[in-house]
Amino acid sequence: MTSFLYRCTTCGKAYQRDEVRYLCPACAKDYRPGIPLLGVLSVEFDYVAIQRRFRKQSPDWSLFSAVEPEHYPPYPVGNTPFFPVAALGQAFGFENVWLKNDGLNPSASLKDRASFLVVAEANRLKERSIVTASTGNAASALAAVCAAAGRQAVIFVPESAPKAKLVQMVLYGARVIPVRGTYDDAFRLSLEYTARKGGLNRNTAYHPLTIEGKKTVGLEIYQQNGFRVPDAILVPVGDGVIISGVYKAFYDLKAAGLIARLPRLVCVQAGRSTAIHHYIRTGKYQNALRPATIADSISVSIPSNAHMARRAVLDSRGFSITVSDKEILRGQRTLAEKTGVFAEPAAAAPVAALRKLQGAGLLDCKEQIVLLITGHGLKDVDAAMSSIRIPAAKAATPCKAP
Amino acid sequence: MTSFLYRCTTCGKAYQRDEVRYLCPACAKDYRPGIPLLGVLSVEFDYVAIQRRFRKQSPDWSLFSAVEPEHYPPYPVGNTPFFPVAALGQAFGFENVWLKNDGLNPSASLKDRASFLVVAEANRLKERSIVTASTGNAASALAAVCAAAGRQAVIFVPESAPKAKLVQMVLYGARVIPVRGTYDDAFRLSLEYTARKGGLNRNTAYHPLTIEGKKTVGLEIYQQNGFRVPDAILVPVGDGVIISGVYKAFYDLKAAGLIARLPRLVCVQAGRSTAIHHYIRTGKYQNALRPATIADSISVSIPSNAHMARRAVLDSRGFSITVSDKEILRGQRTLAEKTGVFAEPAAAAPVAALRKLQGAGLLDCKEQIVLLITGHGLKDVDAAMSSIRIPAAKAATPCKAP
């Protein structure tokens, strides 16, 4: 580990590590449920120390960690495959497309990375229970990591979450409270719960280490890419925390003098859940009205990390694009057929976006383009079923005499 | 790669690489559908060459590969987590229990390893289509690898396979033929298909490289364990190919002079699919009558690799044990609650076995024991649902005024 401060991304004020836990107290005064978070904290390391101590020959990634490894739960996350997918790229006219398949985390989504670090923090703070709201993946990840760490997960989740995600969290032994309402309702209820009952709240962006945990996917891409920066990374965006985490990885690497430029970050939203997209395009924020997309993991009305996500895209000279549910399901099929990777709908959104970007002039056909696959298709088999047909069974012909 | 011969595990006759493709022609004459395979071929490397060239400091595992890496499909398999699970071990009185979580292969089962190598072989032979019978996992693995390699998978599968597995294979673009019958029917139909129409048959053990592919899980365990041999490995057993593959890994390592002893291999079968268990116990082979277990991946009447599986257990001084469906489902829950790992029923069988072995005197409480998790729980969510209850949803309380 390296020493660090928390810095408020709204007002810029700095805090010592244990002086604050969630949002910047000054800015959080203006926060009320119903708008994106204000006062989200960002971890600011001693980058001079990292620069002095980091060696590419034997990289010590704990230098970039905001929790000491001794507190890590016994639940290995990350180290997921990063590899070129020539056939997929060629299908859309791009020559150098890569996948980072983060569906191969233990609970089958990238969210394991955030839960891992927040549970490590709970271990350090000796907090017995960890509370979250989630569209499904963050909750099943938290439940899994808590099981491994011997801690109690308390989970608020929309009752409409895919069955597989609900089964996961219950099986891992979490206390699950399905909510007859949206993710935004669950978010609010979980905040009320921790205010009343205590425990550590893991809500995404609300706890700053969710961003730090998700950051590790960016560090891995950098390392697996031979310590080079890809030209562009396409990221599915719901509440804006994953894209903020990817941004933070390259921000840290640049601040530590390891890289000279950021990859362009491309925000991919579902056409029916576009709050961050519009915010990036217009500079004016507005909640998404009645988000309803088959890509449940990115179906959000009030994206908690809207401000940081917008900055991530603008600072990296990236852009934003939306894709329809139909395009997403087609992208899911194309991804499976060309690469053998089965992604959940949200995770297939970057594939749909790549198809749409063909010939649009926003990505060069020779650039190195990374598609971030955030969750496994087995998380939501029914969604995939809607675009395929399982053939009828044939009777087995009788065994011929030898 | 190292040069190799095929040696018949029934009669001992050796063949050059391209002289045979499937079974030993001499012994296969006595084979007819309805009994375990005869004449299964085993790859015999030039172990002296491996011993001379292998370096632990920078291990070149391709020395142990029967296909040249240039033919490998663009589909990274393996490199799955291997880690200690103290809380799980303690629950059953064992002090040094580890998991090898092979559910984190791309198509979510260990079978990716076999399909990977057989498709590499198809690439070498320029065979366009690859045919298999499967209870579900081998088929979804083959479909995925074929998609990545641009080849055609043709799949015979019992129509009773879990929906998620069927969805996977269809989505990957395979030609799927659901069979109104058992795995054994599907096995026979797939052999008839290749005899009539050609293509490469990937049936497990029938194609010798399925064993070589699965072997890589054993090589990884050895490396991830700091180049040490665990004391015992518990393996779910259906048709006997996975346990034969694990055995082959350590056989090769011993033949190459890298290790001095084999790990004891423990065969774990479901109480309702016990052909290999009885064969090991009694020395007399008999097909399982009407196998019917919730652990669909190890539900087999006529295990294709019964003879080699029995030898693997006896040669390694291991033993065999059976577990009931109830014990399997309980094991699945315990595994999830203690480690955060969600395994499909077959893959939870080793956990059930470990519970049963507590105090039995067959495993020492201080030994290093590895549980091989062969498939992800998301492969069959309905099975897990049968042992849990998802709480009823609560109405979201209205947002309080700020």
- The residue of chain B with its CA nearest to that of A337 is B172
- Provide, as residue numbers in chain A, all residues whose Cβ is less than 8 Å from the Cβ of B163: 381, 385
Looking at this protein, which amino acid is placed at residue A10?
T
pLDDT in tens, A285-303: 999 988 889 998 999 899 9
Cross-strand bridge partners of residue A233: A265, A370
**Residues B330 and B57 sit within 8 Å (Cβ to Cβ):** no
CA distance B220 to B222: 5
- In this prediction, residue A401 carries a pLDDT of 40
**Residues A298 and A290 sit within 8 Å (Cβ to Cβ):** no
Interchain contact B397–A (C-beta under 8 A): yes
Residue B26 belongs to some domain of the structure: no
Task: Judge: B402–A179 Cβ closer than 8 Å, yes or no.
Answer: no
Secondary structure letter of residue B145 according to DSSP: H
Residue B52 belongs to some domain of the structure: no
Q: CA–CA distance from B388 to each of A173, A174, B146, B325, B385 (Å)?
A: 10, 12, 36, 15, 5
Task: Judge: B168–A378 Cβ closer than 8 Å, yes or no.
Answer: yes
**Residues A45 and A17 sit within 8 Å (Cβ to Cβ):** no
Which residue from B75, B85, B159 is facing A74, i.e. has the nearest CB?
B85
Interchain contact A91–B (C-beta under 8 A): no
CA distance B169 to B139: 7
> Residues of B numbered 208-237 whose beta carbons fall under 8 angstroms of chain A's beta carbons: which are they?
none
**Residues A208 and A40 sit within 8 Å (Cβ to Cβ):** yes
Q: How far apart are the first and last CA of chain A?
A: 69
Range A394-402, long-range pairs (CB < 8 A, 24+ positions): A394/B177, A394/B178, A394/B179, A394/B180, A395/B179, A395/B180, A395/B181, A396/B179, A396/B180, A396/B181, A396/B182, A396/B185, A396/B186, A396/B188, A396/B189, A397/B189, A399/B33, A399/B34, A399/B188, A400/B192, A402/B32, A402/B33
- In this prediction, residue B401 carries a pLDDT of 40
Task: Judge: A186–B338 Cβ closer than 8 Å, yes or no.
Answer: no
Q: Supply φ then ψ for residue A268, to 5 degrees.
A: -115, 115
Q: Is A80 exposed, middle or buried (0-12, 13-18, 19+ CB in 10 A)?
A: buried
Q: CA–CA distance from B94 to each of A14, A299, B177, B268, B350 (Å)?
A: 48, 45, 45, 18, 14
- The residue of chain A with its CA nearest to that of B145 is A340
Q: What is the CATH number of the domain that holds B216?
A: 3.40.50.1100
- A399: pLDDT strictly greater than 80: no
Q: Supply φ then ψ for residue A65, to 5 degrees.
A: -100, 140
How close is the nearest chain B Cα to the Cα of A160, in Å?
A: 10
How close is the nearest chain A Cα to the Cα of B253, in Å?
A: 26
- In this prediction, residue A1 carries a pLDDT of 75
Nearest in space to B364 (alpha carbons), one of B264, B291, B295, B245: B264
- Provide, as residue numbers in chain A, all residues whose Cβ is less than 8 Å from the Cβ of B83: 74, 76
ipTM: 0.94
Q: Are β-strands A319-323 and A264-270 bridged in parallel, bridged antiparallel, or unpaired?
A: parallel
Residue B300 belongs to some domain of the structure: yes
* CA angle in degrees (0–180, nearest 5) for B276-B278-B279: 60
**Residues B267 and B135 sit within 8 Å (Cβ to Cβ):** no
CB atoms within 10 A of CB B12: 9
Alpha helices in A256-324 (DSSP H): 275-282, 306-315
CA distance B128 to B213: 20
Q: Which of A261-265, A307-311, B382-386 has the lowest mean pLDDT?
A: B382-386
**Residues B64 and B45 sit within 8 Å (Cβ to Cβ):** yes
- In this prediction, residue A400 carries a pLDDT of 54
Task: Judge: A86–B75 Cβ closer than 8 Å, yes or no.
Answer: no
CB atoms within 10 A of CB B14: 12
The per-residue b/e assignment along B341-366, b for 16 or more CB within 10 angstroms, e otherwise, is bbbbbbbbbbbbbbbbbeeeeebeee
Task: Judge: B177–A394 Cβ closer than 8 Å, yes or no.
Answer: yes
- Residues in chain B where the model's pLDDT stays below 50: 401-402
Residue B262 belongs to some domain of the structure: yes
Task: Judge: A396–B148 Cβ closer than 8 Å, yes or no.
Answer: no
- The encoded tokens of residue B191 equal 């052999």
- A398: pLDDT strictly greater than 80: no
Nearest in space to B67 (alpha carbons), one of B223, B279, B213, B189: B213
Task: Judge: B384–A336 Cβ closer than 8 Å, yes or no.
Answer: no
How close is the nearest chain A Cα to the Cα of B47, in Å?
A: 31
Residue with tokens 């029914």: A382
> Residues of A numbered 106-135 whose beta carbons fall under 8 angstroms of chain B's beta carbons: which are they?
106-108
CA distance B378 to A300: 25
Task: Judge: B379–A376 Cβ closer than 8 Å, yes or no.
Answer: no
How close is the nearest chain B Cα to the Cα of A157, in Å?
A: 9
Mean pLDDT in residue range A213-224: 98
**Residues B6 and B17 sit within 8 Å (Cβ to Cβ):** yes
Interchain contact A337–B (C-beta under 8 A): yes
CA distance B278 to B321: 10
Residue with tokens 């990545």: B148
**Residues B131 and B193 sit within 8 Å (Cβ to Cβ):** yes
How close is the nearest chain B Cα to the Cα of A78, in Å?
A: 10
Mutation for testing the B interface, residue in A116, A119, A394, A400 having most B CBs under 10 Å: A394
Q: Which domain holds residue B276?
A: 82-108+209-385
- Provide, as residue numbers in chain B, all residues whose Cβ is less than 8 Å from the Cβ of A87: 74, 148, 150
Give A110-126 as a DSSP string. TTHHHHHHHHHHHHHHT
* CA angle in degrees (0–180, nearest 5) for B269-B290-A390: 90
Length of chain A in terms of residues written: 402
CB atoms within 10 A of CB B62: 12
Mutation for testing the A interface, residue in B170, B179, B192, B373 having most A CBs under 10 Å: B170
- Provide, as residue numbers in chain A, all residues whose Cβ is less than 8 Å from the Cβ of B87: 74, 148, 150
**Residues B135 and B183 sit within 8 Å (Cβ to Cβ):** yes
Task: Judge: B390–A101 Cβ closer than 8 Å, yes or no.
Answer: no
Write out the E strands in A141-214.
152-158, 175-180, 200-201
Which residue from B32, B144, B167 is facing A340, i.e. has the nearest CB?
B144
Nearest in space to B364 (alpha carbons), one of B99, B89, B82, B88: B89
- Provide, as residue numbers in chain A, all residues whose Cβ is less than 8 Å from the Cβ of B106: 81, 101, 104, 340-341
Cross-strand bridge partners of residue B109: B375
**Residues B47 and B256 sit within 8 Å (Cβ to Cβ):** yes
Task: Judge: A83–B76 Cβ closer than 8 Å, yes or no.
Answer: yes
Q: Are β-strands B369-373 and B232-236 bridged in parallel, bridged antiparallel, or unpaired?
A: parallel
Q: CA–CA distance from A55 to each of A61, A69, A251, B44, B273 (Å)?
A: 10, 18, 18, 42, 53
Interchain contact B360–A (C-beta under 8 A): no
Task: Judge: B333–A171 Cβ closer than 8 Å, yes or no.
Answer: yes
Interchain contact A334–B (C-beta under 8 A): no
- The residue of chain A with its CA nearest to that of B141 is A340
How close is the nearest chain B Cα to the Cα of A175, in Å?
A: 9
Mutation for testing the B interface, residue in A30, A399, A400 having most B CBs under 10 Å: A399
Cross-strand bridge partners of residue A179: A158, B394
Task: Judge: B164–A378 Cβ closer than 8 Å, yes or no.
Answer: yes
- Helix, strand, coil in percent for chain A, rounding step 5: 40, 15, 40
Q: How far apart are the first and last CA of chain B?
A: 69
Residue A361 belongs to some domain of the structure: yes
Which residue from B75, B341, B392 is facing A340, i.e. has the nearest CB?
B75
Interchain contact B147–A (C-beta under 8 A): yes
Residue A399 belongs to some domain of the structure: no
Give A334-382 as a DSSP string. HHHHHHS--B-HHHHHHHHHHHHHTTSSSS-TTS-EEEEE-BBGGGGHH
The per-residue b/e assignment along A12-39, b for 16 or more CB within 10 angstroms, e otherwise, is ebebeeeebbbbbeebbeebeeeebbbb
CA distance A134 to A143: 11
Residue A127 belongs to some domain of the structure: no
Which residue from A79, A159, A337 is facing B393, i.e. has the nearest CB?
A159
Nearest in space to A373 (alpha carbons), one of A275, A276, A303, A268: A268
- A402: pLDDT strictly greater than 50: no
Q: Which of A45-49, A111-115, A158-162, A326-330 has the lowest mean pLDDT?
A: A158-162
Q: Which of A98-102, A194-198, A221-225 has the lowest mean pLDDT?
A: A194-198
- The residue of chain A with its CA nearest to that of B386 is A167
- Provide, as residue numbers in chain A, all residues whose Cβ is less than 8 Å from the Cβ of B181: 395-396
**Residues A305 and A37 sit within 8 Å (Cβ to Cβ):** yes
Structural domain tally of chain A?
A: 1
Range B153-157, long-range pairs (CB < 8 A, 24+ positions): B153/B129, B154/B129, B154/B130, B154/B190, B154/B193, B154/B199, B155/B131, B156/B131, B156/B132, B156/B186, B156/B187, B156/B189, B156/B190, B156/B193, B157/B133, B157/B186
- The encoded tokens of residue B164 equal 């998620």
Residue A55's contacts (CB-CB under 8 Å, 6 or more residues apart) are none
Task: Judge: A104–B104 Cβ closer than 8 Å, yes or no.
Answer: yes
Task: Judge: B399–A34 Cβ closer than 8 Å, yes or no.
Answer: yes
Nearest in space to B371 (alpha carbons), one of B299, B275, B268: B268
Residue B395 belongs to some domain of the structure: no
